[in-house]
Structure 1
Amino acid sequence: MQPVLEVRGIRKEFPGVVALDGVDFRLFPGEVHALMGENGAGKSTLIKVLTGVHPVDGGEVVLAGRPVRIAGPAQARQVGISTVYQEVNLCPNLSVAENVLIGREPRRFGLIDWAAVRRRAAELVRELELDIDVGAPLSSCSIAVQQLVAIVRAVDASAKVLILDEPTSSLDRDEVRQLFTVMRRLRDQGVAILFVSHFLDQVYEICDRMTVLRNGRLEGEYLTGELNRTGLVSRMIGAELAGLDELGGGKRRERTGPDTGPDTGPDTGAVFLQADGLTRRGAVEPYDLAIRSGEVIGLAGLLGSGRTEAARLLFGADRSDGGTLRIEGAETALRGPRDAIAHGIAFCSENRRTEGLVGELTVRENIVLALQAARGWTRPLSRATQDELALRWTRALDIRPADPGTPVRNLSGGNQQKVLLARWLITDPKLLILDEPTRGIDIGAKAEIQKLVASLAEDGTAVLFVSAELEEVLRLSHRVGVLRDRRMVAQLDNDGELTPERVMAAIASGAEQ
């Protein structure tokens, strides 16, 4: 069978970086094909070459047997290549229907037929068996629903090739199942689907073949059924592994404390932060939580359960409506993040693009941002100090490329996450709040961040770890707070016997199991 899309010997360079070096890739009609590799392997660059965002410096793109030069995303859509990126890029000020059909609105007498727009959008939503109000403003929808709207929009483009870049990163299990149902239907209709995901289970569930990139080069092309998970990870990172558990396949953190309870680190019993009845109307019901120095507290729950909202109250990113907060024994009212930083609290948002990094600034400028803010702009850090700090943390966290002068927007997702972590680690926090720190990053970077969390706890830092991945939460945490419907329904000691099934039972029943 002739590939519907093929690249031959593709090369793409950026200043000081060869992102793609002689890469070959084939995508056939009626298949779901996984594009695998660590962050920085070249996956995003290859996608942007295929969609015309980046012109190639060498090689060729072949579509339906003919070499083509795709001048931009609009032309890519015209020739049948549609893309849904990891970061939702829609118009929040418009309705769901307007976002689905923007640029392709039905017209009558030269004017947009708004009734037809709503009808068509509603038809597409029904075809995908989604429960979305097409008349609602997109800004009123959750991130998960916005992701689904982007997928609906891409499907309506009658694509021959559908590229899905981390489409499940913000979806819960039911929404993932809905998406996979749609993908299988499209595959059976002959659509070629390129699927990028760091969830290995999802790749093996939905994909027929996979292509692995490493350091900008093609490592190999495989049938999914002929390459097991350990073999895949070995090819992604270029090293043999004793087993996938070493990189986060379900091995929980070992306890080193007494048998009477989870290890709480070197400062056992020292409560750094105590929340009593903390609440915000419409966001999270009153909850109690104590976090000790050297302790990792995990927050688990389904999408929309209130995990992020609970974490934001502890950083002053949102103002509480009730309850009390004690920091090192003293009752404290956080009027905003500046107060939290002054008390030694750091917060890495799940939305690193809009609430974390400043894409126009360099790696160095992003790393020193929190420290400079804490000092005040009347006491600027010298350039020599900035360079020293940036170089030290770039090396310590293995941020790639290792040039602090690189614009942070040019880094892969995993390396951007490391920059955000470096920013807060410079401030030497007493409590580090991490909201989905490993979402959308590769398995190697994920393992590095998990090891860093364990190391920080051993050194006495308190950590609040929020993640949708239960195995990850259990692997790292001494205790797990379970949220359901914006309520803290259970707090479970992770004594080595705590299982994902028990946590899920607490979520399902709304009570400690």
Structure 2
Amino acid sequence: MTDVALKIENATKRFPGVLALDHAALELRPGEVHALLGENGAGKSTLIKIITGVHEPTEGTVWVDGEEVTFKSPHDAMDAGIGAVHQERNLIPRFTVAENIMLEAVPTKRGQVDYAEMRRQAEYWLSELDLDIDPDLPVQRLSVAQMQLLEIARALSLKSRVLLLDEPTASITEHEVQVLFSFLRKLKAQGVAILFVSHKLEEVFEICDRVTVLRDGKNACTNVPISDLNRDGVVAHMVGRDNALSDLGHRAPVDAPTKLELKDVSTRIGHSNVNLHAKKGEVLGFYGLVGAGRSELARALIGADKITGGQVLIDGKEAKISSVQDALRKYQMGYVSEDRKGDGLILAHSVADNIGVTIWHKIAKFGGFVTDTMQRKSVRGFVDRLEVKTPSLQQTLGNLSGGNQQKVSVAKWLAAETEILIIDEPTVGVDIRTKGYLHKLIWEVAEAGVTVLVISSDMPEIVAVADRLIVMNEMQVVGDLPNSRDYDEMSQKIMQSIVGASDLKESA
């Protein structure tokens, strides 16, 4: 085994109007977890796509096990022993869980697909990640968090010598993170070289051995032992200065009328007797393990799924929401989806189009006509406010980094001037500085009188940003907790709510 499993030198990638990578370098060793860090747009995902054959570098060299290689496609990279979990999901919704896991290594018997063996192997990889999912279930019926874990299971099934993980914990909870980390440690002991991309620095310090930081497409630090750095040092490399982070500060208790109330709400997807309320200007947080039903409840509230019983009250009056358009135009309710690329954004359209879509009906001239000039004028302030890094408002959204796409998904609902805003996984794929900015923005929006419902799988985030916490488990509300913002105290109360509900169900 060589001392270096993968080496990148002078990796440069140019796109129209964008220099995404500028002579970047990276070195992965067998039996280590190596962190690749940087702000949104720093070039992390571009570097991974070069390593995995999605992009060819404009300049630069890739070595695998000491030999120079040129990848013309992802299959070339897989043949060289490189597996990856990309930020963008690459699952086939109509295929089953088992078919997706074994897609790159379909077992056969006498020239035919061996479905029994496929199911057996899929069950093994699901069990390795402690995933209780039926292998025969179509992927389109999974939650976003389950899809994230399924992507990881598929990458693991390839038994790669080099494993690249781009934001693998973005949509999963602490329990799932620890299961994943346990398996990564097992792979590390087997000599696998692992590249770990994350904006969650606490995870980086827990699991990683060395770190490389990119800033503006260049190396800010390269192959540094994690033991030589602290949190402030990493942040300074990422943003180019010390003290880039600031605490959220104090937020006074909300004393206002109830804006949104759910009474005994049931949904087609399986919720029953859901009762909760949110005040005007309150930040109401939602936490729960994978499959708890938080995102599904949000989709039912905005008319994207069916409410089958109970009442939804807005300003004390029953609301009948039959579509997303109803939610926005009749009740000023918006939803920043956790699946920004599937539900929230149109990647082939411009930045301006993606933000402007929620306000076309407001800015349209007689006859419904909207000019590009009108739209740009209406959205420019929101692009500036959220510091979206884009060459122009006409830039195709798919050419921006994942974090900047997330900013656009928030910007379009701020432009719509909603009175109730549901934000699902607000900082998935967002760098640490932008994460702090978005947290402050949530508070600013709430202080302006907007009722904000925040769904997050990141427990420190939900404890930091929410005024009150709704805990869900198996499609039901199992806790309604005042938030002291003391993480140790609140994390214990949250888990007690979940465990207590599970124990009660088992005893029944």
TM-score of the aligned structures, taking structure 1 as reference length:
0.90
Distance in 2, matches of 1:496 and 1:143, equals: 27
CA distance in 2, matches of 1:106, 1:300: 39
Does residue 359 (structure 1) correspond to residue 347 (structure 2)? The answer is yes
1:204 to partner: Cα distance: 1.4
2:379–2:415 CA contact under 8 A, matched in 1? no
1:101-145 Cα distance to aligned partner (Å, 9 max, x none): 224323344333333333443444456665443333333444344
Query: Which residue does the alignment assign to 1:234?
Result: 236
Correspondent of 1:255 among 248, 251, 255? 251
Find the counterpart in structure 1 of residue 200 from structure 2: 199
Q: How many aligned residue pairs are there?
A: 496
C-alpha separation between the residues in 1 aligned to 2:410 and 2:289? 25
Q: CA deviation at 1:28?
A: 0.9
**Pair 280,133 (structure 1): closer, same or farther in 2 beyond 3 Å:** closer
* 1:277 aligned residue: 264
In 2, the alpha carbon distance for the partners of 1:465 and 1:90 equals 26
**Contact persistence 1:315–1:346 (CA under 8 A):** yes
Shift of 1:282: 4.0
Paired with 2:262 and 2:129, the residues of 1 have a C-alpha distance of 42
Distance 1:286 1:192, change over 3 A: same
User: Which 10-residue stretch deviates more, 454-463 or 492-501?
Assistant: 492-501
Distance 1:470 1:99, change over 3 A: closer
- Matching of residue 442 in structure 1 with residue 431 in structure 2: yes
SS of aligned partner of 1:350: coil
Structure 2 equivalent of residue 259 of structure 1:
none
Query: Closer, same or farther in 2 for the Cα pair 1:114/1:467, shift >3 Å?
Result: closer
Other structure's SS at 2:359 match: helix
Question: Partner of 2:369 in structure 1?
Answer: 380
Q: Matched residues in 2 for 1:227 and 1:449: separation?
A: 26
Aligned to 2:280: 293
1:78 aligns with 2:65: no
Determine the structure 1 residue equivalent to 2:100.
99
Between the aligned residues of both structures, percent identity stands at: 39
The equivalent residue for 2:148 is 147
* Aligned CA distance change for structure 1 residues 438 and 123 (closer, same or farther; 3 Å): closer
Length-normalised TM-score, structure 2: 0.91
- Say if 2:258 and 2:277, in contact at 8 Å, map to a contact too: yes
Give yes or no for contact 2:172–2:457 (8 Å, CA) kept in 1. no
Give 3-state SS (helix, strand or coil) of 1:285's partner: coil
> Does the alignment pair 1:304 with 2:291?
yes
Corresponding residue of 2:326:
339
Q: How far does residue 358 in structure 1 lie from its aligned partner after superposition?
A: 0.5
Deviations 1:188-215 (A, max 9, x none): 2211111112222221111111111111
CA contact (8 A) 2:172 2:290 kept: yes
The code of the aligned residue for 1:505 comes to Q
Relative to structure 1, the CA distance from residue 288 to residue 154 in structure 2 (aligned partners, 3 Å threshold; closer, same or farther) is closer
Distance 1:339 1:117, change over 3 A: closer
The residue that corresponds to 1:179 in the other structure is: 180
CA shift, 1:255, in A, is: 3.1
The residue type paired with residue 20 of structure 1 is: L
Q: Secondary structure at the match of 2:307?
A: coil
Q: For 1:202-213, list aligned pairs within 5 A.
A: 202-213=203-214
Go from structure 1 to structure 2 and tell me whether the alpha carbon gap of 1:369 and 1:129 turns closer, same or farther (over 3 Å shift): closer
**What does residue 443 of structure 2 align with?**
454
Does structure 1 retain, via aligned residues, the 8 Å contact 2:173–2:459?
no
Relative distance call for 1:324 and 1:120 in structure 2 (3 A) is closer
1:123-181 per-residue CA deviation (whole Å, 9 max, x = no partner) reads: 44456665443333333444344333333332332312111111122333332222222
Aligned equivalent of 1:110: 111
Counterpart secondary structure, 2:199? coil
- Deviation per CA, 1:301-348: give whole Å up to 9, x if none: 222222223322332222211122222233221111111112211111
Counterpart of 1:225? Answer: 227
